Amino acid sequence: MAVPFKYTRAVVCGVPSSLPKNALRLEDPGEPIDLEKARQQHSDYVKTLEKLNLKLTHIEPDEELPDCVFVEDTAVCVGNKALIANLGHENRRAEAKRMKSALIDLGFDVTCMENPACLDGGDVLFTGREFFVGLTTRTNKEGMEALAAAFPAFPVSGIKVEKHLHLKSMMSMAGDDLIVVGSSSMASNSFKEIESKAKYKYRKLVVPEDVAANCLYLNGTLVHPSAKEIPESISVLQGLPGEKIEAENSELHKADGCLTCCSILLQ
Q: Active site residue: 42, 166, 224, 253, which one? A: 166
Q: Active site residue: 77, 118, 261, 262, which one? A: 261
Choose among 135, 93, 140, 99: nearest CA to 116: 140
166 as an active site residue: the answer is yes
Q: Omega into 116 within 30° of 0, i.e. cis? A: yes
Output b/e per residue, 96-117; b: 16+ Cβ within 10 A: bebbbebbeeeebebbebeeeb
Would you list the DSSP string of 252-265?
A: HHTTT--GGGG-EE
CA 175, CA 242: separation in Å to the nearest integer? 9
CA 262, CA 42: separation in Å to the nearest integer? 8
The answer to whether 238 and 207 have CB atoms below 8 angstroms apart is no
Active site residues: 166, 261
